[in-house]
A and B are shown apart, each in its own frame.
Chain A
Amino acid sequence: MNTLSVRTLFFGVYAELASSREGVAEMPSGSTVGDLVDTLRGSRGLDWLPERVVVAVNQSYAEIGTQLADGDEVALIPPVAGG
C-alpha cells in the first residue's frame, strides 16, 4: 500500500499535553485531515485531542475532509488567544 508522510506540529497547551512540539505521521495514500486526527487520537498520549480539533495544513486553516499530500505540514491548533 502506498503511504504518505506528514509533519505534525503541536502548539501551546497541545505541545504541553503531548510532551512534544512535532512529529512525523505515516498515513495511507488518500488519507484526509480527519483520518490523521483519528490516528493521532488513537496513539499513545494523544487520546485527549478534542472532538472538533482545529487543523491547519501548510499554514492555512483546513477542513476535516481535506486530502493530505506527501510532505504536508499539519498543525493542530489549540483555542487561539492572540491580542
Chain B
Amino acid sequence: MTADGAGEVAVETAITTESLDGTEVFRTLGSHADGAVLIFQGRVRQTNEGRAVSSLGYEAYGEMANSELRAICHEAAQKFEIGAISSAHRVGELALGEVSIVVAVSAPHRDQCYDASRWVIEEVKARLPIWKHEHYVDGESHWVGAPDSNLAPERSSPEPEIR
C-alpha cells in the first residue's frame, strides 16, 4: 500500500497480486469524525457481452497504475468532503467471483461516500492503465476493449524484403 495525506484526507492505494476478498483492513478507515464508510468491491462476473467467462487475467503498467490510482484518489479528496479513501486493484489471474477492485471511502455523511465512490470507480475505468484478458468457457480469449477486428495484423502475408 502507498499511503499519504491529501490535506487531511488519508489516501491509500495499491496494485497487488494478493487477494482483496477480505475487508478487515478497512475497519480502521478514517476517524471518529466519519459516520459513514462505504466499501465497493468489483468482482469477476461469469458473463461478459453474452459470453460465458471462465477466468480473467489482469495486466497492469504497474508503477503508472499505482500513481494514476493515487492521483484519482487525491482528486476525489479535493472534490468531495471525505475523511479517508483507500483503493486497491488486483492483477494476475482471477477466478469467477474473486474481487478485482476495492474502493473504500469514509466521510462524515453518507452522501459524500456514495458520490466519491462512484466517481472513483468511473475514473478508474477510464484512466487506469490496466488491461483485462478474458478467458471464455469455449476456450477462446480476448483483450477487453481491444478493437481487434481492424487491428489484427495479417500474419500470413509475406514480410517485405529489406534492401
Contacts and interface: CB of A to CB of B under 8 A. Distances in A.
Contacts of B133: 12
Given A44-B160, A75-B61, A80 B151 contact: no
Interface stretch (A23-31, A45-53, A64-72): A45-53
Given A13-B151, A48-B152, A48-B153, A78 B131 contact: yes
Nearest to B153: A48
Of the listed residues A9, A45, A80, the one surrounded by the most CB atoms of chain B closer than 10 A to its CB is A80
Interface size class of B (residues with CB under 8 A): 20 to 34
A59 B124 contact: no
B146 A83 contact: no
A81 B144 contact: yes
Contact residues of A: prevailing secondary structure? loop
Contacts of A81: 125, 130-132, 143-145
Contacts of B128: 80, 82-83
Interface size class of A (residues with CB under 8 A): 20 to 34
Contact of A83 (B59, B124, B153, B160): B124
Of the listed residues A17, A50, A59, A82, the one surrounded by the most CB atoms of chain B closer than 10 A to its CB is A82
A77 interface: yes
B111 interface: no
Interface string A18-61: 00000000000000000000000000110110100000100111
B64 A78 contact: no
Contacts of B24: none
B63 interface: yes
Cβ-closest 8 pairs across A and B: A12-B131, A82-B130, A79-B145, A13-B146, A59-B64, A13-B143, A82-B128, A81-B132
13 contacts: A11-B131, A13-B146, A44-B160, A48-B153, A59-B63, A75-B61, A79-B147, A80-B126, A81-B130, A81-B131, A81-B144, A82-B101, A83-B125
Interface of B: 42, 58-61, 63-65, 67, 89, 100-101, 121, 124-133, 143-148, 151-153, 159-160
